[in-house]
Amino acid sequence: MTLELHRSPAAGGGSYSDAVVVDNDGLRWIHVAGQTPRAARPEDVPSDLGGQAELCFGQIEAILALWAAGLKDVVQITVYLTSLKDYASFASVRARLFGDEPPASAAVGVSSLLDDALIKIAAVAVTRSGDSR
């Protein structure tokens, strides 16, 4: 079994990794840390939940691409929302991105998130270990 950590420069030097990758028994498990919407300029982060969800999924997609993976390989997501009343906005973005084969998912209501984000999304993807990187 091998373990690999990935820290993004956008992580701000925090004490976490954006992804932890485990290769074991021919499978590569990519655990993507919860992503809040980030942009080069804070004012470019959308103020609506749907726009923030799009940005989070884009960040997840970019991290997965480092291991030749994509949203099609995601098997589980956990979404944290500051208002579960806005769940439908998130669900419509998820449905558009994942289509007829959505991953297992859980939604958790929280009182607040870093940088006043409305949403945070964590993901787990699985590919074959031999897939090129």
Domains of the chain plus CATH, in order, are 2-128 (3.30.1330.40)
36 close to 120: Cβ distance less than 8 angstroms: yes
Per-residue pLDDT band for 10 (boundaries 50, 70, 90) equals very low
Residue 105, pLDDT > 80, answer: yes
Model pTM greater than 0.85?
yes
Average pLDDT, the chain: 90
Kindly state the average pLDDT of the residues 76-99. Answer: 96
- At residue 1, the pLDDT reads 73
Alpha-carbon distance 90 to 24, whole Å? 33
User: To the nearest 5 percent, what fractions of the chain are helix, strand and coil?
Assistant: 35, 35, 35
Work out the burial of residue 34: count CB atoms within 10 Å of its CB; fewer than 13 is exposed, 13-18 middle, 19 or more buried. Answer: buried
Kindly state the average pLDDT of the residues 45-55. Answer: 96
Alpha-carbon distance 6 to 22, whole Å? 12
Residue type, 108: V
Alpha-carbon distance 70 to 66, whole Å? 9
Kindly state the average pLDDT of the residues 98-106. Answer: 95
127 close to 68: Cβ distance less than 8 angstroms: yes
Residue 94, pLDDT > 60, answer: yes
